[in-house]
Amino acid sequence: MPACPTAGKEKGPTLKPLIPVVLFVALLFNLSTAQTTLTVSGATLIDGTGSPPLSNAVILIKGDRIISVGTTGTVQVPRGVRRIDATGKFIVPGLIDTHLHLEMVGLSDIGTLPNEWTKPEKLRESVITNAKLNLISGFTTVRDLGSSPLVFQIRDEITAGKFIGPRIIAAGMQLVKKAPTQNTEPMFLEYDGSDSAREKVRYLARLGVNVIKIRLTHMRPVPTLEEVRAIVEEAHHLGLRPTVHTDVPADDLVKLAIDAGADGIEHNAPLRLQNEQILTLMAQHNMSLMTGGGAFFVQRIDTTGFIDLLDPAQTRLLPKEVQAALRRGIDSLHRQTQQMKNSGWDAKQRQARFIQEVQRARNAGVLLVFGSDCGAYGMIHGEQYKALYGESQVGSIPMQVILMATRDAAKALGKASELGTIEPNKLADLLIVDANPLADLRNLRQIFRVIKGGKVYNPVELVSAGK
Ligand SMILES: [Zn+2]
C-alpha cells in the first residue's frame, strides 16, 4: 500500500490540500453569483421548513429557481442584477391553497347574480379575475377541486403568460357513484362498477386534469371498496393523486377512502371521528387532511368584524354586481349565525371543540393542510388571509398555519421537491409582506411583492391598474 505523501512529515494542518477546495468553492460561488438574475435581501425569512426565522436574509434566484439562501455576510449579493431591497420586511414561501373553486365567487347560488352571469364569456372573465386575485394575495399555487374544463384552459393560458395567476392544479369534474335518478349536475361525473370507474379516470386524464376528486356521500349510493380502489389505482397509474370529499361526520366514508388508498381527505370529517384510531390509520397512510377550519371560523365564529370587509383588490377588480351579491351573502350569513345563536348555538364552545379536534389529529401525526374552499359560500377569492387567521384561532399557532399552507400543502400535492419551502433548487415562489405574520396572520394581507417562478408582481400597482 503506497504511503500517504504527507506521512512521516510534521504534524499540524497543511494548507496545500485545501487549495483545490478553496478554488472549487470560489468557482461555485462565482458561478452562482454570475448566474443570478434576481436577489432579495434584508428581510426576515420564514422559509417554510419549520426553522426559526432568519434575519437579514439573502436569496439568490436564477430564472425560475432559487439558487442560494443565506444571510448578509454569508452570501455575496452580486452586482448588476435586479435587486429587491426587502429590509424590515418578512418573507414566506409562495402560499398554497389546496382547495378552492375558481368558477365560483363566494355565493351560495349563482342565481343571486343577474342572468348574464350564466353566459360562458362572463364565467371565463370571472375565472380570470379570481385567478388574479389569488396570485396578488400571495397564493402562487392553488388546487381547484371541482370545475369544468374551462379552468384547464385558463390554467394553460396563465402558464403561457397570457394572464397573471397562480399555478393551477385542477381536478375538473368530481367522480360520483351513479345515482338512480338522472344526473343533472355538470360538476359530477358518474361511474358504475370498477371498469367504468377506471374508464372515467382515463377520460378525465385525457381532458387534462392534474388531480382526481372522489366524492363519497350518503346523499348518493355509496360505492364499493373495489370501485374506489379502481379509481385510486388508475389515478396513481396515470401519475394523479386522488383526494376524497366526505360528508361530515362520516367514519365509514373516511374509512373507505383510507382502505382504497386515497392520498387525501377534504373537509373536516376526520376531525369529528367517533373512532379515533382512524386518525392513526390516516397518518400511517401518509394521507393529508384539509381541515376547512378557516372557512368555518370565517363564516361562523369571528367576532372581530374584519370578515365583513371587501378588501381594496376585491373592491377594485370584482364587478359591482358581484360585490353587491357578496354583501347580501355576508348579511345573510350574519342572520343565519344570529338565528343559530338564538337557538342556543355557542360559537365559543364550537371553537373550543375545534381546537381539541385539530390538536388530536396533529398529535396522531396526520398531515394537516390549508384549504380555503374559496368560491364556496362566504369565501371570497384573494381573501384567504382571513381563513389563515381563522386557523390560528382553532388549534394551530401561526408557524403551524404557515407550514400548512406551504411545506405541508406541497407534500399533499406531491410537489414537495418543487414547492413549499425557500431552499436552493426549489421554484422561486415568495411572498414578501410588510409586517410579521408570526405575530398575527392578518399581516399576510400587507403585501409588498409576490414572486412566482422568479417573476415579480407588485399587487398595489396591479390593483390600481384595474383589469
Ligand atoms: Zn370545495
Percent of the chain at pLDDT > 90 equals 69
The CA 403 to ligand 1 mean position distance, Å, reads: 21
Which residues are paired to 71 by β-bridges?
57
Most confident of 15-19, 104-108, 152-156: 152-156
Per-residue confidence (pLDDT) for residue 20, from 0 to 100: 56
> Does position 299 have pLDDT exceeding 70, yes or no?
no
Span from the CA of 121 to the centroid of ligand 1 (angstroms): 23
Please give the distance, rounded to the nearest whole angstrom, from the Cα atom of residue 104 to the centre of ligand 1: 10
Q: Quick one: pLDDT at residue 6?
A: 35
Closest CA to 350 of 309, 317, 301, 383: 301
- Whole-number Å distance, alpha carbon 373 to ligand 1 midpoint, is 5
Question: pLDDT tens digits for 121-146?
Answer: 999 999 999 999 999 999 999 999 99
pLDDT digits (tens, 9 = 90+) for 149-203: 999 999 999 999 999 999 999 999 999 999 988 666 788 999 999 999 999 999 9
| Average pLDDT of the residues in 30-42 | 78
Between the CA of 391 and the centroid of ligand 1 the distance, in Å, is 17
The mean pLDDT of 258-266, rounded to a whole number, is: 97
Residue 12 confidence (pLDDT): 41
CA of 294 to the centre of ligand 1 (A): 13
Centre of ligand 1 from the C-alpha of residue 179, in Å: 21
**3 state DSSP class of 404:** helix
Choose among 201, 213, 203, 103: nearest CA to 148: 103
Assess whether pLDDT exceeds 50 at residue 13.
no
The predicted-structure confidence for 202-234, as pLDDT tens digits, reads as follows 999 999 999 999 999 999 999 999 999 999 999
Res 307 pLDDT > 70? no
Distance between start and end Cα atoms, the chain: 75
**Which pLDDT score, from 0 to 100, does residue 21 have?**
53
| C-alpha of residue 278 to centroid of ligand 1, in Å | 23
Q: How many CA atoms lie within 13 A of 441 on its CB side?
A: 24
Distances (CA, A) of 170 to 143, 153, 330: 6, 10, 28
Coil, strand or helix at 230:
helix
Q: Which three cell numbers stand for residue 19?
A: 487549495
pLDDT, tens digit (0-9, with 9 covering 90-100), for 46-98: 999 999 999 999 999 999 999 999 999 899 888 889 999 999 999 999 999 99
Neighbours of 302 (CB within 10 A): 17
Look at residue 438 and tell me whether its pLDDT is greater than 60.
yes
**Nearest to residue 295, comparing CAs of 435, 152, 391?**
391
Distance 105 CA to ligand 1 centre (A): 12
Higher per-residue pLDDT: 427 or 304: 427
- Enter the DSSP assignment of 297: I
Q: How confident is the model at residue 269 (pLDDT cuts 50, 70, 90)?
A: confident
Cα separation, 128 vs 318, in Å, equals 11
Per-residue DSSP letters for 60-80? Answer: EEETTEEEEEEEBTTB---TT
pLDDT of residue 53: 98
DSSP-assigned states of every residue in 78-99: -TTSEEEE-TT-EEEEPEEEEE
Q: Which residues surround ligand 1, an ion (CB under 5 A)?
A: 373
Please tell me the predicted confidence (pLDDT) of residue 34. Answer: 59
Distance of CA 440 from the midpoint of ligand 1 (Å)? 26
C-alpha of residue 253 to centroid of ligand 1, in Å? 17
Distance CA 122, CA 90 (A): 37
- 182 CA distance to ligand 1 middle (Å): 23
pLDDT of residue 7: 35
For residue 401, which phi and psi values (nearest 5 degrees)? Answer: -65, -40
pLDDT at res. 273: 87
Percent of the chain past pLDDT 70, that is, above it, reads 88
**What are the C-alpha distances in Å from 325 to residues 3, 310, 319, 377, 378?**
84, 12, 10, 11, 11
pLDDT band at residue 466 using 50, 70 and 90 as cut-offs: confident
Which three cell numbers, joined as nine digits, stand for 271?
Answer: 376531525
| CA–CA gap between residue 322 and residue 262 (Å, rounded) | 36
Q: Separation of 145 CA from ligand 1 center, angstroms?
A: 6
**pLDDT value of position 334:** 78
Give the pLDDT of residue 379: 86
pLDDT level of residue 457 (50, 70, 90 thresholds): very high
Q: How far apart are CA 385 and CA 389, in angstroms?
A: 6
Place of cell 374552499: 373
pTM over 0.95? The answer is no
pLDDT band at 439, cuts 50/70/90? very high
CB neighbours of 371 closer than 8 A, spacing ≥ 6? 97, 98, 99, 100, 143, 145, 266, 290, 291, 292
Ligand 1 center to 267 CA (angstroms)? 8
Residues of each domain in the chain carrying CATH 3.20.20.140: 95-420
CATH 2.30.40.10 domain locations along the chain = 18-88
- Mention the CATH class of domain 18-88: mainly beta
**Of 288, 291, 329, 301, nearest to 420 (Cα)?**
288
Q: Looking at residues 439-444, what average pLDDT do you find?
A: 96
What whole-number distance in Å separates Cα of residue 209 and Cα of residue 384? 24
Angle at 117 between CA 114 and CA 118, to 5 degrees: 115
- Write the CATH number of the domain with boundaries 95-420: 3.20.20.140
Residue 414 makes CB contacts below 8 A (sequence gap 6+) with: 241, 263
The yes-or-no verdict on residue 331 having pLDDT over 90 is no
Least reliable range by pLDDT among 15-29, 121-135, 231-245, 276-290: 15-29
Return the amino acid letter for 248.
Answer: V
Average pLDDT score over residue span 404-430: 98
C-alpha cell at 114: 343577474
**29-33, 37-41, 179-183, 304-308: the lowest-pLDDT one:** 29-33
* pLDDT the model gives residue 115: 82
The set of residues, in sequence order, having a beta carbon less than 8 Å from that of 248 and lying 6+ positions away, is 267, 268, 269, 272
Cα(67) to centroid of ligand 1, in Å?
Answer: 36
Task: State which H helix or E strand residue 44 sits in.
Answer: strand 38-45
pLDDT band of 32, cuts 50, 70, 90: low
DSSP secondary structure of 361-422? HHHTT-EEE----BTBTT--TT-HHHHHHHHTTTT--HHHHHHHTTHHHHHHTT-TTTSSS-
State the pLDDT at residue 110: 63
- Please tell me the distance between residue 48's alpha carbon and the centre of ligand 1 in angstroms: 25
Q: 223-227, 236-240, 326-330, 373-377: which range is least confident on average?
A: 326-330
